[in-house]
Amino acid sequence: MQSKPVFQIFGTKKCKNTQKAIRFFSERRLTIQFIDLNVKGLSQGELNNVLQYYTIDDIIDTGSNEYKLKNLKYIIHDKLQTALDHPLILKTPIIRFNKKVILGFDEKEIKDFINKTGGNI
């Protein structure tokens, strides 16, 4: 018996777009693994995987509270290391499946992503 595909959703429980993504997958009975960035950040390997599809500037949310709290706008920092150390500066949701990645919530883009990755809806 073939197991169901599992989609990983990285985000926070308070993020409206992450909530939309979770609801979208749940309504379609697609299996998800939610990774709360308040609890656990991306590993180096996971971040490298995301960076195959997006630049570091694409995934950092310069408008986030965490980015402002750390004064990252005003200090020189290693963006990759900062993303690993402070995952709350990342744009969410980050959706992964079979090493493919999509950033943010756009229903049409997610449907295309699911169909391209073999998840079929």
pLDDT at 84: 96
Q: Is 85 left (phi over 0), alpha (psi -120 to 50) or beta?
A: alpha
**Best CA proximity match to 92, nearest among 25, 41, 29:** 41
Can you give the pTM of this predicted structure? 0.89
pLDDT at 119: 62
Rg of the chain over Cα atoms, rounded to whole angstroms, equals 15
Query: Could you please report the per-residue DSSP string of 44-109?
Result: HHHHHHHTTTS-HHHHB-TTSHHHHHTTTTTS---HHHHHHH-GGGB-S-EEEETTEEEES--HHH
Q: What is the mean pLDDT of each run of 10 residues along the chain (121 residues)?
A: 76 97 94 96 95 97 94 92 96 93 92 76 58
pLDDT at 1: 46
SS3 state at 27: helix
pLDDT at 113: 83
Distance between CA atoms of 45 and 77, rounded to whole angstroms? 20
pLDDT at 95: 96
Q: Spell out the domains of the chain, with CATH numbers in brackets.
A: 6-116 (3.40.30.10)
pLDDT at 108: 92
